[in-house]
Structure 1
Amino acid sequence: MTSKAMSLTGKAICLLSIAATTLVLPTAVPAHAAPPANTAPPVLPAIQQWTGGSGRLVLGDQSRIVTPAGSTPQLQQLAGKVVSDATELTGLHLTAATGTAAAGDVLLKIDPAADFGAVLPALKPEAYRIDVSGGKATVTAASQQGAINGATTLLQIVVGSADHRSLPVGSAVDFPNYAVRGFMLDVGRRYFTPEFIRSYIKWMGYQKLNTLQIHLNDNEIVAPNGDWSQAKSAFRLQSDNPAFAGLAATDGVYTRADWDSFEDAAAAAGVTLVPEIDAPGHARAFTKFKPELGLNGGNSDHLDLSKPASTDFMKSVYAEFTPWFRGPNVHIGADEYDKAYVGQYKTYINTIAPYVRSLGKQVSIWGSFSTMSGGGAGYDPDLTVNSWNNGWYGPKKAIADGYDVINSNDNQLYVVPFANYYHGQGLDGQWIFNSWEPHVFPGDQTLAKQDPHLLGAMPAVWNDLVRANYTELQVHGLVEKSFPALAQKMWSGTKAGTDYQAFLNTTRAVGQGPGTAYLPDTLGSNDVASDLARGRTTTASSTEAAALQASNATDGLPDTRWGSKYTDDQWLQVDLGSVRRISTATLTWEAAYAKEYDLQVSTDGTTWTTVSQRRGLTGPTADQITFPATDARYVRMQGIKRGTAYGYSLYGIDVRGASDLAAGKPATASSSETPWLTPELAFDNNGTTRWSSERTDDQWLQVDLGSPRTVSGASLTWEAAYAKDYDLQVSTDGTTWTTVSQQRGHTAAGTNNLTFTPTDARYVRMQGIKRGTGYGYSLYSLRVS
């Protein structure tokens, strides 16, 4: 039995041994009062419609995921996936079966004639409903895609429940607001491993994001010294066809087997892959392979469209690789070509688009027609347009020209990792949650909600900085800041309410989903999810000019900056407002960067500790620094040596809290004072719930982090029944324990922030030694960093 299963009360375990499940009735109320209705279960994205009953259905290891006799193989496979996913995320050992559902079971079925509420007809295939009553649950979907969505929500409800195995009685009706809920990843400029791609597909599916566009070729924006032979470029698909030998990149490619694994993962997750092969601009990989097809004698990243061979070559590329692609759509790129050749460009579009359709695919394109031609007149009419820039081709103009559009607006939805433009530190999830939906564009281009020609939205990561040193997991850290909010606003808009912190609690409770262990979860706490320095009081030793004031470094704007006087010994300091537990800071330098500086922290603004010494920097960059979790109210950049003759100049300083490795993880304890003050409540990211032990000194609370992690701190928030003396202990196997912090002589409840030598641990335990009151031990939370 897993630690999660062991955390059930003895009564629940006893009942589960008798039957597959039990209904846990609500707390007794006076006879004249009706039991309270269950509120909508917190899931991501939020459910469109909910009608609550009372009580809960508790699943046990004898519960089954049942599909009706005669169900499709795909539906039966989905039932098996629910079983394996539940085991991975909750420890439940369900089984898949065919036939009739009994008490304690979940029935998974497809019925297009069922009532799916106010869903738009075009979106009905993704709709589903969940009905929990009469001792069992039923997931009814309009199609296989709807069944995947319903099964995902069912799993999230169970994962997010306090006992990790129950469902509230009630009925949910759910469906999306938009057909395309996407994300685009530029792998042309930077290789991302197959493991990363598969993990992202699974992560997206868990949030009901249903479209992943993979940008398969590109090059650096400007050739070094104008010499394109020195430019970095790549095409990421590797064919066995000798005609394409030498086309594939040498620093990372995807074979047919790799791509098949992406498609398999996508089918299971309800995600559609949109491969993008970009031409006639951004085409250095092709002009390098065949220089005779490039402009300027091949010294270019543009194909020479005056040569029919250029178009013929691109036809051969699409003919070679389109059979790899199982989805209905292929993206042909076609952005940012030299408008001096607009006639040839138009001919190319009008030739390639129907050719790709002849291969059995619909065609998408980056919106460029306003800049190229003043509009879409004369272009192939059967295209889907990613509206990425209002000037190049805004959504209103594209729709007026007859096209369906996807919102990929650069001003709002582009991330260029660690650049000083296009959200180099990631999109602001709180702004997305509060102010954005797919119909929102900058300026006067906002559309009506659910405009029939607006298919949805697709934020994008562009790896412009091809020579910068960062990893795919660092990119994930940027993307994760806004992904949940984007998923929410694309699926059900404002149904999650207006409380962003409550929304983040839901995100943490449901987790990242099955098969995503490769992706670090950086949303483990509120502090991680937001920039603690944003808008805080910021001071400096000097300012170069009135317009370059210290507060510019914490205003969140990418184009304002602080600049110091032209001497080495200068500093910038931010007051976080209160003591916070932090572990990451990112300093985004303007051209006047620091060659050497210290990052310092302080709890009182007087005594400073250096947490990182930065030496030998060679140019302006977004310098991300990770250090052992530490308590700080003040954070300071202390300049030591300038990198230029000017002063120090920062676009921004971003400070993040230490992630809570224990959030939502399985918990056990030596005892619980009552059946409702159970161990997992100390790890549910809810400051009003708590665990409480029996009233003896030798009691403990333990959390399983899921895998060995390097830990260096903990934060324990005590209820009135606090510990006077206790040890914090760690273990790699749950058997042999090491004390990393001895706490003695506490005299009151509150929060104890502990720091210790970094050590590897899978299990962390509060071992009580002496109580501070006549009651037991009671913790609102035990956070691990």
Structure 2
Amino acid sequence: MTDTVIRNVFREYLSGPHPVFTGKVVDIGTDEYAKPAAEEFRAFTDMLIKYVESFGKKVRLWGALTWAQGKTPVTVKGVTMNCWYNGYANPVDMKKLGYKLISTPDGWLYIVPAAGYYYDYLNLEKIYNDWTPSLIGDVSFCAGDPAVVGGSFAEWNDIVGNGISQKDVNDRVFPAIQVLAQKMWDGGDTAVSYKDFAISCKDIGEGPGLNITGKLGNPDHPLVADFHFDRKRKSVKLNDASYTKGIKGKALSFSGKDSYAVLPYKEIGYDYTVSFWINPSPGNLKNTVLFQSPDAVVKLNQGTTGKLGFSRDGYNFRFNYTVPDNIWTHIVIIGTNKGTALFVNGHVQDSLYHKWIQFHDKNKTKKRKVETLFFPLEKTGGFKGKIDELKIWNKSLSMEAIKNMK
């Protein structure tokens, strides 16, 4: 029954007019099975290799054949194996069997975000200085050994519901890609210090037209934007919104859900500070929007809580603060890769850091809750009220700087 179900899944993914897997190589996984079922596991693995190969694909799998020793043969020719833990697949033995190896040692190259085990962020400096693809766990192959075809890190999202976003994954993965790319090119060459390499990495983008990291402006000039809203600007396009008297000069006035201003940015990533004055009118409903982008929404009223909050990646977060009606309030939100903080009228109001999810297993496990935000900047408005003096920095400002804003 299992074989039939899995074959049906792979057939759907590999065939038809719009297959999911279009590349030449397909990773079938197949590791960490129960040891007493070693023979069944080996038979299943061999079946799946041959089935995927029948679609003209090369197969990659994860090493488990040292753990699952047995007599049932498993196809070797043309198969590449990720060697991730030597207790599951001894790389010397796998080489003898004839497998091509990808060096993926978990003690060096495993990311599991905010899990409390393996790495939240890889130790990139240590990898740069001390690791090469020839090192798999405690086994070191000669440089250029044809059995070792390369190396790879792995990022596993093990903890369901802990708040990790796509942006958070990229924040961990992109620097790892940069360092691993260098190690694949010439793993033993460290003539350039890691410090200098890391500086150079900051100048390397993700690719033409991409800004997944949400970088805005110049690090040497951290104030990215300063919108006074005292006059019309070509870069700010109004939709059923208007200019009115503000906290200083004029402000933007909004009349509800379809009243907003389009800003010249999509979002800003870590680290950032966003500051604005807000004066809501009475009668704003639940989930009323203040700022939005395709990836996130900052809300005046998060759900039925009446609290200021934000939503992204299917998660809803809130600060312990209700913005009062009919009065100007100064709001500052600071975001880093660890969490999000709220300051009101120059004082700390709430900090979404270091919170925990309590699981109800026998060990009463706790996992860190990640309440991060790429601040959405594509639109502001969508509520009844006024916004003024919107400022955006590409750094986390100090408490003293925040107090001096008012």
Normalised by the length of structure 1, the TM-score is: 0.30
In structure 1, what is the Cα distance between the partners aligned to 2:349 and 2:125? Answer: 28
SS of alignment partner, residue 433 of structure 1: helix
The CA deviation at 1:456 is 0.5
Larger radius of gyration between Structure 1 and Structure 2: 1
Unaligned runs of 5+ in 2: 221-268, 271-333, 359-365, 374-389
Distance 1:626 1:353, change over 3 A: closer
Query: Is the contact made by 1:331 and 1:365 (CA closer than 8 Å) also made in structure 2?
Result: yes
1:440 and 2:139 equivalent? no
Query: Is the contact made by 1:612 and 1:625 (CA closer than 8 Å) also made in structure 2?
Result: no
Distance 1:709 1:452, change over 3 A: farther
Name the counterpart of 2:100.
404
The CA deviation at 1:622 is 3.5
Question: What amino acid is the match of 2:92?
Answer: K
The CA deviation at 1:400 is 1.6
Query: Is the contact made by 2:30 and 2:62 (CA closer than 8 Å) also made in structure 1?
Result: yes
Note the alpha carbon deviations across 1:317-368, whole angstroms, 9 max, x for none: 2222213233211111111112212222222222221222111111111100
In structure 2, what is the Cα distance between the partners aligned to 1:350 and 1:618? Answer: 40
Query: Is the contact made by 1:330 and 1:363 (CA closer than 8 Å) also made in structure 2?
Result: yes
Give percent identity, aligned residues only.
27
Name the counterpart of 1:352.
48
In structure 1, what is the Cα distance between the partners aligned to 2:85 and 2:121? Answer: 18
Name the counterpart of 1:466.
160
Query: Is the contact made by 1:711 and 1:758 (CA closer than 8 Å) also made in structure 2?
Result: no
Question: What amino acid is the match of 2:99?
Answer: Y
Name the counterpart of 2:381.
none
In structure 1, what is the Cα distance between the partners aligned to 2:391 and 2:206? Answer: 17
1:429 and 2:124 equivalent? yes
* Pairing 1:278-357 to 2, within 5 Å after superposition: 309-323=1-15, 324=19, 325-357=21-53
Query: Is the contact made by 1:428 and 1:481 (CA closer than 8 Å) also made in structure 2?
Result: no
- Of the three residues 62, 67, 74, the one matched with 1:379 is 74
Name the counterpart of 2:112.
416
The CA deviation at 1:396 is 1.6
- Which structure has more helix as a fraction of its residues? 1
Note the alpha carbon deviations across 1:211-250, whole angstroms, 9 max, x for none: xxxxxxxxxxxxxxxxxxxxxxxxxxxxxxxxxxxxxxxx
1:490 and 2:184 equivalent? yes
The CA deviation at 1:427 is 0.3
Question: What amino acid is the match of 1:321?
Answer: Y
Question: What amino acid is the match of 2:367?
Answer: T
Name the counterpart of 2:367.
621
Unaligned runs of 5+ in 1: 1-308, 530-581, 588-597, 600-608, 628-707, 716-752, 760-785
Distance 1:457 1:714, change over 3 A: closer
The CA deviation at 1:585 is 7.4
Query: Is the contact made by 2:83 and 2:136 (CA closer than 8 Å) also made in structure 1?
Result: no
Distance 1:428 1:485, change over 3 A: same
SS of alignment partner, residue 498 of structure 1: coil
Query: Is the contact made by 2:42 and 2:72 (CA closer than 8 Å) also made in structure 1?
Result: no
In structure 2, what is the Cα distance between the partners aligned to 1:713 and 1:460? Answer: 29
1:517 and 2:206 equivalent? no
In structure 1, what is the Cα distance between the partners aligned to 2:31 and 2:357? Answer: 33
In structure 2, what is the Cα distance between the partners aligned to 1:486 and 1:621? Answer: 28
In structure 1, what is the Cα distance between the partners aligned to 2:25 and 2:404? Answer: 49
Question: What amino acid is the match of 2:198?
Answer: L
In structure 2, what is the Cα distance between the partners aligned to 1:710 and 1:312? Answer: 55
Distance 1:479 1:489, change over 3 A: same
In structure 2, what is the Cα distance between the partners aligned to 1:331 and 1:408? Answer: 14
In structure 2, what is the Cα distance between the partners aligned to 1:314 and 1:450? Answer: 37
Which sits farther off after the overlay, 387-396 or 349-358?
349-358
Distance 1:712 1:474, change over 3 A: closer
In structure 1, what is the Cα distance between the partners aligned to 2:403 and 2:56? Answer: 59
Query: Is the contact made by 1:714 and 1:755 (CA closer than 8 Å) also made in structure 2?
Result: no
- Of the three residues 369, 372, 392, the one matched with 1:710 is 392
The CA deviation at 1:377 is 7.5
Number of residue pairs aligned between Structure 1 and Structure 2: 260
Distance 1:319 1:410, change over 3 A: same
In structure 2, what is the Cα distance between the partners aligned to 1:481 and 1:621? Answer: 24
The CA deviation at 1:402 is 1.2
In structure 1, what is the Cα distance between the partners aligned to 2:111 and 2:215? Answer: 19
SS of alignment partner, residue 378 of structure 1: coil
Name the counterpart of 1:501.
195
In structure 1, what is the Cα distance between the partners aligned to 2:114 and 2:135? Answer: 25
Distance 1:310 1:416, change over 3 A: same
Name the counterpart of 2:91.
395
Note the alpha carbon deviations across 1:445-484, whole angstroms, 9 max, x for none: 1211121011101211111101211211012122234331
Normalised by the length of structure 2, the TM-score is: 0.55
Query: Is the contact made by 1:388 and 1:407 (CA closer than 8 Å) also made in structure 2?
Result: yes
In structure 2, what is the Cα distance between the partners aligned to 1:758 and 1:478? Answer: 34
The CA deviation at 1:513 is 2.4
The CA deviation at 1:583 is 6.9
SS of alignment partner, residue 450 of structure 1: coil
